[in-house]
Chains A and B, each alone.
Chain A
Amino acid sequence: MSALLPLAQLEIRSRRGGTCESEDGFCPDWIADNLDRYVSPLLEHVVLTVASVGIGFAIAFALALLAHRREWVSAPVGALTSVLFTIPSVAAFLLLVPLTGLGVLTAIIALVAYTQVFLFRNIVNGLSNVAEETKDAARGMGLTDRQVLWRVELPLAVPEILAGVRIATVTTVNLATLAFFAGAGGLGAQIYTDITFRSNVVVAGGLAILLAAAFDLMVLGGQRLATPWRRATAA
């Protein structure tokens, strides 16, 4: 079973000669019969992505608010997120295994680290791009700093923040295909079970692409709902 040997190549098809499967081809019939194999890896992938982006967002948000208040925090934290992102992903997964063991936790730690470069930067930029006169008017009308942040700056930063979430999500879906190196399963593990079988690679890879697109559209839809004012142009 593939679950027992996550890193080993494993045959998932019949080897009888002369068939589409035996020739590693793209076999619609086989795909139709074997779709259920992909449900569980897909769900694992969804969980990895949602958990990583969610936790990553919480961390990046807290750091960005800190950087917004204290200017000097911004540069070093920003640099750190860049450095994290340069670590090769396979290396990150493998390096973490001795510390946190094989499993979902290890994968999520690495994936969260990779989201920071997009999330932290976009939240910080979104907040600092709010026009000075808008903030001045807000303060001048008697909003406290906290009210300025939550009622003016954050709502206006939503487009940039969600743009960061979109990139982070798509990137995480992509990187999570390597999460099986940390023993976290996912669609990558499914690809690796039979990497020479075209049908398998196409279905598992295709699902990863569809998943990324679906997440992207969801966030985009959320953004449009959350920012009706952005579509309002001069009549």
Chain B
Amino acid sequence: MGQSRDLHIFDDAAGRAYPREVTAPQTSPNSEAVRPRPQAATLEFRSATKRYPGQEDAAVDGLSLTVPAGEICVLVGPSGCGKTTAMRMVNRMIEITEGDILLDDRSVRDRAPAELRREIGYAIQQIGLFPHLTVAANVAVVPRLLGWDRDRIEARVRELLELVSLEEGTAERYPAQLSGGQRQRVGVARALAADPPLMLMDEPFGAIDPINRERLQNEFLRLQAEIRKTVVFVTHDIDEAIKMGDRIAVLRAGGRLAQYASPAELLMYPADEFVEDFVGADRALKRLALQRVRDIDLWSAATVRSGEPVDEARRKIAEADIDMPVLVDDHGRPQGWLSERGFAGERVRPELRSRAEPLVELDDVLRDALADLIESEVHYSPVVDSGGRLAGVLSLEVISQTLHVPPERARTGPQLVDPAPGEDDAVSAEVEPA
């Protein structure tokens, strides 16, 4: 059982498999010494517009949004919606024609492009590793441009390869000798090399097969929990957006912002039909991936120990949400659902109606927990905490109640876009504190 749980944590496709507040993985004392303090910048688009000469429609039209420091902002939308253009305007790979983009309140237009770009991590779908340089030299490109000394570069490269889970032997290999997943990791390491306060990532996992993509996504989220960069992440995949984003900006053709909201907000209250279509008909199900079992109100069940007086047990059953008692051992760990036959005598006998399966954990993502219920063909199952003690009961009914959208918050019209400051509660409730 424990083993399959572990697998679930890793296999978790859309859920935040790694809680945002995970502690940093152990690194060698040496690398701790050279690690610069994590820093992140606030990014603000102010009516940023890109108009190509001779084209009637703007590629990006008056885009205004703010990405708070340390958050991942996903730009998502159908092809041709200007999401990549918007991203490339940040490091001036594409010049803004109207409006402005501010990085920590400083306009990017006031900066020399090459100098600006060295402060911004850059990872693209095709990765663009330099084939003639070893992995180590690829990672060292920006530190070299910045004139770091040899020892510092060497230590930084070693630290980064460790950070993105690449073996040490990888450093001296050439990109042609790596697998797609390894190249992608090198690309991320290279983008992080100079510890930039902002990262731009254009479909960084787009060219990777689904299984490895998921692993890389999870790795990146875990990494981000540690380094807390401000990230602009471009994708056309709404599921990836929901998984990766603290905030999601949905763009529509012509580079106009359709909605800018947290994943939960987006799924519960799509601003208009376009967003509703784009997030998909199964948006209620997608929300399951955003919540953990511990986030919802579980049913309570009577916990009964073998040898306990039957009267006492019956009193507990009367107080519980459900009339099915759970037999627990001395440590409070559920053994199974107690059968009526167990109450035949003075004291409770361990007569089980069925075993306690499946066993859901509080940290499980709701989607996985639901899948467990369906697979085991049951309507409810015991939930245990990290110590294996019974914490409550999860049922299909509880899940469907959770998915209910309070009507007062439901969509009032297509004009509901940018969450106003006062309305932000729902956003921060879903997005764990930065």
Q: Report A-chain residues with C-beta under 8 Å of the C-beta of B176.
A: 229, 232-234
Chain B interface residue count: which class? 20 to 34
The A178-235 residues at the B interface (CB cut-off 8 A) are 227-229, 232-235
- The answer to whether B174 touches A137, judged by C-beta atoms less than 8 angstroms apart, is no
Closest B residue to A235 using CB positions: B177
For chain A, what secondary structure do more than half of its interface residues adopt (helix, strand, loop), or is it mixed?
helix
The B93-130 residues at the A interface (CB cut-off 8 A) are 93, 113-119, 122, 124, 126-130
**For the complex, is A156 an interface residue (Cβ under 8 Å from B)?**
yes
Write the B183-202 contact mask toward A (1 if CB under 8 angstroms, else 0).
Answer: 00000001100000000100
**For the complex, is A134 an interface residue (Cβ under 8 Å from B)?**
yes
**For the complex, is B152 an interface residue (Cβ under 8 Å from A)?**
no
The A41-63 residues at the B interface (CB cut-off 8 A) are none
B169: min CB distance to chain A, Å: 10
Please measure, in the bound complex, the distance between the C-alpha atom of A47 and the C-alpha atom of B341, giving whole angstroms. 107
Q: Report A-chain residues with C-beta under 8 Å of the C-beta of B142.
A: 141-142
**For the complex, is B173 an interface residue (Cβ under 8 Å from A)?**
yes
Q: Report B-chain residues with C-beta under 8 Å of the C-beta of A142.
A: 113-119, 142, 145
B125: min CB distance to chain A, Å: 8
Chain A interface residue count: which class? 20 to 34
Write the A140-161 contact mask toward B (1 if CB under 8 angstroms, else 0).
Answer: 1111100100001001101000
Please measure, in the bound complex, the distance between the C-alpha atom of A227 and the C-alpha atom of B141, giving whole angstroms. 18
**For the complex, is A139 an interface residue (Cβ under 8 Å from B)?**
yes
Please measure, in the bound complex, the distance between the C-alpha atom of A234 and the C-alpha atom of B115, giving whole angstroms. 35
Please measure, in the bound complex, the distance between the C-alpha atom of A139 and the C-alpha atom of B141, giving whole angstroms. 11
Q: Report B-chain residues with C-beta under 8 Å of the C-beta of A156.
A: 130-132
Q: Report B-chain residues with C-beta under 8 Å of the C-beta of A138.
A: 128, 130, 141
- The answer to whether A136 touches B131, judged by C-beta atoms less than 8 angstroms apart, is no
- The answer to whether A140 touches B130, judged by C-beta atoms less than 8 angstroms apart, is no
Q: Report A-chain residues with C-beta under 8 Å of the C-beta of B145.
A: 141-143, 147
- The answer to whether A144 touches B114, judged by C-beta atoms less than 8 angstroms apart, is yes
Q: Report A-chain residues with C-beta under 8 Å of the C-beta of B114.
A: 142-144
How many interface contacts (CB-CB < 8 Å) are there between A and B?
80
B282: min CB distance to chain A, Å: 34
- The answer to whether B117 touches A134, judged by C-beta atoms less than 8 angstroms apart, is no
B192: min CB distance to chain A, Å: 12
Please measure, in the bound complex, the distance between the C-alpha atom of A227 and the C-alpha atom of B191, giving whole angstroms. 25
- The answer to whether A234 touches B177, judged by C-beta atoms less than 8 angstroms apart, is yes
B380: min CB distance to chain A, Å: 50
**For the complex, is A133 an interface residue (Cβ under 8 Å from B)?**
yes
**For the complex, is A4 an interface residue (Cβ under 8 Å from B)?**
no
- The answer to whether B91 touches A140, judged by C-beta atoms less than 8 angstroms apart, is yes
Pick the most buried of A133, A134, A142, A158: most chain B CB atoms within 10 A of its CB: A142
**For the complex, is A131 an interface residue (Cβ under 8 Å from B)?**
yes
23 sampled A-B residue pairs with Cβ under 8 A: A131-B128, A133-B124, A133-B127, A133-B128, A134-B130, A134-B131, A135-B128, A137-B128, A138-B130, A138-B141, A139-B117, A140-B124, A141-B142, A142-B118, A142-B142, A142-B145, A143-B114, A143-B141, A144-B114, A227-B132, A229-B174, A234-B176, A235-B173
Rank and list the top 4 A-B pairs by shortest CB-CB distance, nearest first: A137-B128, A142-B118, A133-B126, A142-B117
If A152-B130, A229-B131, A232-B176 are given as contacts, then 13 extra A-B residue pairs at C-beta distance below 8 Å, sorted by A number, are A131-B126, A134-B128, A136-B93, A139-B117, A140-B91, A140-B122, A140-B200, A141-B191, A227-B132, A229-B134, A232-B173, A233-B176, A233-B177
